[in-house]
A and B are shown apart, each in its own frame.
Chain A
Amino acid sequence: MKTEKFEAFLTDNEKRIHNYLLRFVEVDDDAFDLAQNVFLAFYERMGEIEEKTAVAYVYRMAHNMALNWIKQRKRFVLKDPSDFHNLADKPHHSEDPTRAILNKAIRNLPVKLSAVIHLQYYENMPYKAISEKLNISVKAVESLLVRAKKQLRKDILKESGGKDVFNNRQTSSAHAEQIERLA
């Protein structure tokens, strides 16, 4: 891919990648920093990347960088938590517990599945457009989405203790087992 096309590529994908990173880091400022690092690293490797697979490649880079960032953050405690008692709350996306469960489930998905989920449900892209973006077949998109949703439901059920949080009703243990079997 030619470096002259970088600005167009950045304009097309900056919002997409930023929102994808928000599922991992949940704070805007961190997502901005990571998005910047992702695009700069992408620029450095542009010569080695084919144009057809560029979107899939940038998703993978974002996924790996976000996981590295989470791993590094776990190593350090920079401040005592009591220091923050008097600070005003920063906007945080995972205030809603069901949303936090959903974000965690998305984080646990492999990059292929989470990228497809992201393009389908956040951007409302049809299967054909997703297949073109990621350079895979339409059938593969369908299969990845089915797998991703099964995995998501399994993780959500596990996290919420058998409660189908997005169905607004308590799932019976027998039914939960049946759903798990289907998933």
Chain B
Amino acid sequence: MKCSKYRKQLVPWLDGELKPERADVLKAWFESCAKLRQCTLCQSEIQAHQGLNQALQALPQNEFPAYLHHRIMDKVKSNQPIYHKKAIRTRWQAIPATLAILLSLYAGSLIGVKTFSTQTTTTTTTTESTALSSFGENGLYSNFYETGGLE
């Protein structure tokens, strides 16, 4: 039971991340554990972790070539003006678009005013015809027959 408690700290211990006094406690425990209790599991765990650490550290470390560093920097620098130009183009495009919207609004309002004024004329005509009824003209047909139509 106690072995498992110590084994939990195996990784930081092997990485040298424990405080010296705690590391000494663990070292003493694992030594005594092997000698006194014949505990094979702790020893094999330690060996396995050490083996894995060595294998991980032995993986090759390749250098990053200088030409690639420069190529990335060149691409980044050459991309900068493109982004800038794009932004400017977008701004210039906004001006004619706004003008077109304003013009269409203006034209729409002109058409609206014209339509509205026509309706007013019609109303006036109706008023005139209503005024005529006071002279006995109730409708178009009556006026037509009375004035000698189709005789």
Contact = CB atoms under 8 A, between A and B. Distances in A.
Given A7-B73, A40-B76, A167 B47 contact: yes
Most B CB contacts (10 A, CB to CB) among A18, A22, A35, A121 go to A121
Nearest to B48: A167
B71 interface: yes
Interface string A10-48: 110011001100110000100110011001100100000
Contacts of B75: 36, 40
B51 A164 contact: yes
B49 interface: yes
A166 interface: yes
Given A120-B15, A121-B57, A122-B56, A11 B51 contact: no
Interface in B10-26: 11-12, 15, 17
Contact-residue size bin, chain A (C-beta under 8 Å from the other chain): 35 or more
B101 interface: no
Contact of B52 (A14, A39, A152): A152
A121 B53 contact: yes
Interface of A: 6-7, 10-11, 14-15, 18-19, 22-23, 28, 31-32, 35-36, 39-40, 43, 93, 98-99, 102-103, 117, 120-122, 124, 126-127, 142, 145-146, 149, 152-153, 156, 164, 166-168, 171, 175, 178-179, 182
Nearest to A149: B11
Interface stretch (B61-69, B90-98, B107-115): B61-69
Contacts of A182: 7, 45
Contact-residue size bin, chain B (C-beta under 8 Å from the other chain): 20 to 34
A82 B76 CA distance: 40
A127 B17 contact: yes
Contact of A35 (B11, B60, B68): B68
Interface in B67-101: 68-69, 71-73, 75-76, 79
Nearest to A98: B55
A19 B61 contact: yes
B44 interface: yes
B36 interface: no
Contacts of B123: none
Contacts of B76: 6, 40, 43
A168 B51 contact: yes
A166 B69 contact: no
A129 B33 CA distance: 33
B56 A117 contact: yes
B6 to A, nearest CB: 13
Contacts of A127: 12, 15, 17
Given A122-B57, A152-B52, A175 B12 contact: no
B61 A36 contact: no
A164 B41 CA distance: 13
Contacts of B55: 98-99, 102, 166
B52 to A, nearest CB: 5
